[in-house]
Amino acid sequence: MQLVDYLPILMMVVLGLGMVLAFAIFSEILGPRDKSPNKLAPFECGHTSKGQPRLRFAVKYYPIAILFVLFDVEAVFLYPWAVVYGELKLFALVEMLIFLGILVLAFIYIWAKGGLEWD
């Protein structure tokens, strides 16, 4: 394999970065320059913000978020399994049942330990 084979990838990266830079420069040059207090005021979901804009999330949010990511990643492993299932047949089925069994046991353990409780 030669470096010429990577030329299309390099061209796409250069084109992508060029477009990002062009959009940033054009928006700075052509964009409105109204810096009034109303324009700079924080605004969210149709309501004027109240309090500090940098409020901390409760610590109880983070374990739930980590568990969501952990169990959401299983979908990434299910797709390749479904693609090669026709070739591997029983072996793929057994391997995926073992994988899902481990995930179910982990979910039951987390549930029993109260890891999904919000309060």
pLDDT (tens digit per residue) in 85-104: 888 888 888 988 998 899 89
pLDDT (tens digit per residue) in 24-38: 999 999 887 777 877
Average pLDDT, the chain: 84
What domains, with CATH codes, occur in the chain? 3-112 (1.20.58.1610)
Burial 66-105 (b: 16+ CB within 10 A, else e): eeeeeeeeeeeeeeeeeeeeeeeeeebeeebeeeeeeeee
Beta-carbon contacts of 81 under 8 Å, excluding residues fewer than 6 positions away, are 92, 95, 96
